[in-house]
Every structure is written in structure tokens, then in C-alpha cells.
Structure 1
Amino acid sequence: MKYLQITLLLFVLAACGGKAWEANMVDQLLEKYKDKPNTEILLSDMQETSGGKFIHAYKVIGTDNKGDFHLITTVQDNNVTEGFYALHYDNLGMSIGRIDSLGNKSTIVAPPGFNTVIGNPKYGEFREENGHRVWHFFSTYLFYRTLFGMGNRMIYYNHYNDYYHHYRYNRPYYGSGSGSSPSWGTKSTATKQTHKNFYQRSVNRSGSWQRSYSSSSSRGGGGFGK
């Protein structure tokens, strides 16, 4: 099914005047760090300019020789295609590319840190809190909340477990917040606090590209890499 969705998406992009496929910045970064397991690429910002250009900003996070995570680099891509911008419009603050501990590449969209630090007993633990199991980083790693852009979100075990067993190999995961809103991504209330600049600029976005790309189940991007 996922391959059918990707094929249909590529067909839509072509029908909308898209150019032939070429490696995007996420693909290039994954190739660059292919020999560095536990590397994660976060979509840290995005912008549509008044001139009709599309921009992405990425944070590349990886481990040092002690296995501790840190910021490797930040990258700004000023030449994002309209199709790729549309594909990831719902994914602000999300992990949109990673290399796992075995060196496998993946571009399936996921909450930041869910594949690397959340659930890892080196960095923290789930504790009972008001009838829920909630993730707490150990004091040494509290800064990971800022590093991964998690903000003050409560990270519940049932969300992590749901992602780990049902989503991580085949489809994007946004969790569930209050009401029907997601916990992660562009539509999340929490993301509006962690990525304020994006929403402050929103009044200046034309959004004309949205007429060509409807919000559908095929948005969210990604597939499992080699």
C-alpha cells in the first residue's frame, strides 16, 4: 500500500507540472551521514516567500563517541520544490529522515526522538503520573527536550508504544492531543509554542500552492529506505 501511495503521489506531482525526480536535501543529508548510525534530521522551519520560493531549515542530530546526542549541523535549503514543500507541510518539528543504529535509512515521518532517545533507558524512563506512564529524561539529558524541539509536551507511553508497534516501519505518526488535534506536527497546538516564528509569518504566506495539493492521506512523506 505504501508503495502505491508513493507512486500515486509522484503521478500527481507530475500532473501538476512537477519536474523529473531529483535528490532532495533530506536524501543528500542521509547520503552524507550514511556511515553515522543514530543520525536524525528534523524539519525545524519552513517558509513560503512572497516571491514564490520555498525554504526548509533542518537540524541534523547525531551521537558522539560516548553515545550522547548533540547538534551536528543546521542546514537551510532555499530551493525546495513546491511538491516537496507540500509533501512535508504537516511535518514541522518532525523527524523526516534518519539512520538507525544498524545503518538503515528511513524517511517515514515520526515525532522527534521516538527512534533514538525516547524509550532508551540510558536517557530516561517512563514513570507513573496521574494515572499515566509519562517519559522523564534523567537530569543529565534534560536538554534533549530543547535539542529535539519537544517543548513541554507530555510524552505518554501509550503513544510511544502505539508508534513503535504500528507505525514506525510504514506510515507517519502524529499522536493525539486534546480533542482530535495531533500531538506533533504543524497542526499541533504544542508545535505553535515550539516554532513560533513559522506561525508569526503565516499571515504573509499566500498558500497558492495549496490549490494544487490537497491535504490527503498521501501527504506525510516518506518510505523505508535501504
Structure 2
Amino acid sequence: MKYAKLTAITLLLIAVSSCGGRRDEFVKNPVDDLVRDMPTDRVFSIALYDMNVEGNFFEDYYHKYRIIEETTPGQPEERITDWYQVSESQFKQHVDDMGMELVSRGEDGKLVKEVSPPGYNNYVGNEKYGQWTQRDGGSFWEFYGKYAFMSSMFRMFTYPVNRSYYNDYRGNYYGRGRAYYGPTSGGSSYYGTNSNYTRTSRSNSTWSNNRSSFKNRVNSRTSRSSSSTSRTSRSSSRYGGSSSRSRGGGFGK
């Protein structure tokens, strides 16, 4: 009777785990839909603006995006989307990318699906909008007066783009499918979720307010899983491994 009860629980856990996997697969990537709905000749970029996780036992994952697009050529405008549900795998893939561009299309019509600093693909280095200037012993990007609002849009007054950063991105990351977070100082990168660039601009974001709770839940699950594994290992030693079969389903995630 006890064995039958354990088997039923195991089968239930396997079913829950399997359903979770299928559920993950069926959540479409909203960025693909946003790109699809853009006019094919429009210059745009889509950045990860905010993140959220809801639920305890079963968790749902959400993204909010910042879209910069030129509805009129040469006049970039920004808008923030509503929340979109994403899969767990999509969420984990971009958990370090808040504030970063995920996809962009330039004047040449080329679609770039790479994680990159905001503005690097369409505006920084584009002589239509600005130029490199020498100051403080280095070369920095500066927008022309009529595009000065873009310095604020990309926070370049506080976090200027050094030409060496841009050259590093274009020479070693662009077109290679590698994310570029800028130089690292004191264990923190220049861009990305945990950078000062993002933390100071998005201090009141949903993710900033909730990530501690999310980390605690993850650590709690990890701790319970480790404890369970330890108990299973000890039980297997004493009873020849029969207990490990009763736990074979697990949660997986």
C-alpha cells in the first residue's frame, strides 16, 4: 500500500514536470511578434525594459519592452509596451539583459538579433546623428545639437560611450551572436541588469523590487532539492537503492 502511494505521487510529479515543459514550449517569444508587426522598412530597436516573476509553486514569467522606432525617418521615438508573458527558458536567457537591445533593424534593412548596449547598432557611430569628440584624454560619442535628446534617451550624459567600447563591440561581438556588456569594473559590467547603468535608471522597476523575493524562492527550492537528494542518497545506502526509484519523477525545475 505504501509503495502504491509513493508510485502514484511519483507519477503525479512526472506529469506536473512534463506539463511544465510543454507549457514552456507553447509560450511564444513576444519579440518575434513585435518584429513581425513592424513595417519592413522601419528602423527600430527593441530593448528589455523590465522583468517580473509571479507565483510560487507554478511561476509565470513576464517581460516589458522599450521600443525605439522611426515612424518618420530620422526621428526616433520611444514607447514602452505592456507586459508580455514569456517562457521560463526565454526569461533565463535574458535575465542579465535588462536595459539591453535584443533586436534591431538599421537603415540598411538588416535585422540584428544580438544582445547589445542601447543605441550601439543604429545611432552610436552613425555620422548622420553625431561624431566622435576628444575630451578627458579619450574619444567619446557626441550627438549633434538637434539630436541631443538621444543623449538623454541612452543615458550618455552619465554613461558616455568611449570609442574603445564601441570598437570592441563592432570588432569582436557584432555579427557573432555574442552579447556585449561593455567593460567590467569591480565585478560589475558597464551595461546589463546588474550594472549601475541599469540599476540607477530603473531603481523603481518591478524587477528591482521583486528580484530579492525571486532569488529567495530559488534558493529555497535549491536548498530543499539538495536536502532531498541528501536524504535519498542516505536512504539508498541503507535500503539498496529502492528509495531512489520512488523519487525518480522529481520536479525538474
TM-score by structure 1 length?
Answer: 0.76
Which position in structure 2 is the counterpart of 1:69? 76
Kindly provide the CA deviation profile for residues 46-65 of structure 1, in whole angstroms up to 9, marking residues without a partner as x: 11224532111111111143
Two-structure CA RMSD over aligned residues (Å): 2.5
Q: Does 1:128 align with 2:131?
A: no
8 Å CA contact retained: 2:49, 2:98: yes
Query: What is aligned with 2:174?
Result: 168
**184, 189, 192: which one aligns with 2:191:** 184
Q: Kindly provide the amino acid, as one letter, of the partner of residue 57 in structure 1.
A: K
The 1:39–1:81 alpha-carbon spacing in structure 2 relative to 1, beyond 3 Å, is same
Aligned residue-pair number: 197
Q: Over alpha carbons, which structure has the higher Rg?
A: 2
Aligned equivalents of 1:189, 1:45: Cα separation in 2: 15
- Identical-residue share of aligned pairs (%): 28
Note the 1:1-226 alignment, pairs <5 A.
17=21, 19-20=24-25, 23-51=28-56, 52-71=59-78, 73-148=79-154, 152-170=158-176, 171-198=178-205, 199-206=208-215, 208=217
Change (3 A) 1:120 1:94: same
Q: TM-score under structure 2 normalisation?
A: 0.69
Query: What displacement does 1:21 show?
Result: 6.2
Q: Say which structure, 1 or 2, has more relative contact order (CA 8 Å, 6+ apart).
A: 1
Write the distance in 1 (CA, Å) between the matches of 2:86 and 2:218.
13
Q: Would you tell me which structure has more helix in proportion to its own residues?
A: 2
Bigger shift: residues 26-35 or 143-152:
143-152
> Kindly tell me: are residues 97 and 168 of structure 1, through their superposed partners in 2, closer, same or farther at Cα, counting changes over 3 Å?
same
One-letter code of the match for 2:128?
Answer: K
Whole-Å Cα distance in 1 between the matches of residues 111 and 72 of structure 2? 20
Deviation at 1:201, TM superposition (A): 3.2
